[in-house]
Amino acid sequence: MFGQVVALDHLSLDVRPGEIFGLLGPNGAGKSTTVGVLTTRVKPTAGVAWIGDHNVWENRVAVKRLIGVVPQRPNLDFALTAREVLTFHGAYFGLPAAERETRADALLDRFKLTDRAKNMVHGFSGGMMQRLSIARAMMHDPSVLFLDEPSAGLDPQTRLLLSEMVREYNARGKTILLTTHNMEEADDLCHRVAIVDHGKIIAVGTPQELKRSIPGGFLLRLHFESASGTLLDAIRRLQGVTEVRGGGDGQVDVYADHGGTLIPSLVAAASSAGATIRDVHISEPSLENLFLHHTGRSLRE
């Protein structure tokens, strides 16, 4: 399929049991291929993948029992109703009939699909299909849940429901691996994140660690009555400041190694330049900044 393109290039990562792990990267970075390899759907040309004690390629059936997969594009069985999608999925995994029914009802309720349970899936909206896909992946109670770009194209409400469900499932001791190109989502949901680009891992760590790892990761946005050249120079000379950008409307963006602790010296610098601060906003270092720092490109590109 991929011709000579190397989709994954010496990518190596270790997801711990019970964590929510995120693969963050732009489209085409190799996130879905990584998920494909881990879920038995893509045969790697080299290398090994393990789920628990099982080598994924050697022991596909055992691996399939342990995992639940929510694909990037909904692949629901269009010949069935929403409820049947769940009950047949349960049957494929050998759940007894009574348990299939109870679980299907509980999941339909949890994902707010009860009133559509008897409808054929092909009339469903994107958000409903996505909800049903997640419910299906949870149906056999897998230890590891894979979500490939779960929030792409979802409305904010469904996105909230999704985060809630992911956290809830994780709270039951389950491991979750999700891919996203949305840094807020990775930051908000994941315990640890790997940043992927061109099939390689650029950095791995908790969102906090990652964000702290780059110098000048904090952004302080200041508003003055007016911002003179003298003022900007005074700020530039402060310790820990890496970059200062002044706007004509009195807005000054200060990139620095630390946030709140810089305020006293900023105030001092302002008063010595005869300026008054009207407003301060401090933003924590973001994964977006990190990606930019490592690749010179924005995640959204």
Partner 1 sequence: MNVTTFWAMLMRDAHVARRNFMTLAFQVLLQPMLFVFVFGRVMTTSGFMPPQYKNLLLPGIIALSMVFTGTWAVTMPLISDFQFTKEIEDRLLAPIELEWLAVEKVVAGMIQTLVAGFVVIPTAWLVMGGVELSTDHVAWFLLLALLVAMLASTLGLVLGASVGQQQVGLMFSMVLTPMIFFGCTYYPWQALASFPIVKRLVLVNPLVYASEGFRSALVPQFPHLPSIAILGCLAAFDAAFLLFGLRQFKRKALT
Cross-strand pairs, 199:
none
User: Counting contacts by CB under 8 A, is residue 60 touching partner 1?
Assistant: yes
List, as one string, the DSSP characters of the chain.
Answer: --TT--SSSS----PPTT-EEEEE--TTSSHHHHHHHHTTSS--SS---EETTEETTTTHHHHHHHEEEE-SS----TTSBHHHHHHHHHHHTT--HHHHHHHHHHHHHHTT-GGGTTSBGGG--HHHHHHHHHHHHHHT--SEEEEESTTTT--HHHHHHHHHHHHHHHHTT-EEEEEES-HHHHHHH-SEEEEEETTEEEEEE-HHHHHHTSTT-EEEEEEES---HHHHHHHHTSTTEEEEEE-TTSEEEEEES-SGGGHHHHHHHHHHTT--EEEEEEE---HHHHHHHHHSS-TT-
Q: Which part of the chain contacts partner 1 (CB under 8 A), choosing from 54-62, 174-182, 232-240, 252-260?
A: 54-62
User: Counting contacts by CB under 8 A, is residue 285 touching partner 1?
Assistant: no
In angstroms, what is the minimal distance from the CB of 51 to partner 1?
Answer: 13
User: Counting contacts by CB under 8 A, is residue 92 touching partner 1?
Assistant: yes
Say if CB 129 and CB 80 are below 8 A apart. no
User: Counting contacts by CB under 8 A, is residue 88 touching partner 1?
Assistant: yes
Closer to partner 1 at the Cβ: 67 or 270?
Answer: 67
User: Counting contacts by CB under 8 A, is residue 58 touching partner 1?
Assistant: no
Closer to partner 1 at the Cβ: 83 or 211?
Answer: 83
User: Counting contacts by CB under 8 A, is residue 54 touching partner 1?
Assistant: no
How many residues bind to partner 1 according to rule CB under 8 A? 31
User: Counting contacts by CB under 8 A, is residue 212 touching partner 1?
Assistant: no
In angstroms, what is the minimal distance from the CB of 69 to partner 1?
Answer: 6
Give the tokens for residue 224: 């003055």
User: Counting contacts by CB under 8 A, is residue 71 touching partner 1?
Assistant: yes
Closer to partner 1 at the Cβ: 84 or 105?
Answer: 84
In angstroms, what is the minimal distance from the CB of 73 to partner 1?
Answer: 7
Q: Within 130-159, which residues bind partner 1 (CB under 8 A)?
A: 136
One character per residue 3-42, x = contact with partner 1 (rule: CB under 8 A): ---------------------------------x--xxxx
- Separation CA 56–CA 209 (nearest Å): 30
- Separation CA 190–CA 16 (nearest Å): 12
Q: Which part of the chain contacts partner 1 (CB under 8 A), choosing from 84-92, 178-186, 187-195, 271-279?
A: 84-92
User: Counting contacts by CB under 8 A, is residue 50 touching partner 1?
Assistant: no
In angstroms, what is the minimal distance from the CB of 36 to partner 1?
Answer: 7
Give the footprint of partner 1 on this chain (CB under 8 A): 1, 36, 39-43, 60-62, 64-65, 67, 69, 71, 73, 75-80, 84-85, 88-89, 91-94, 136
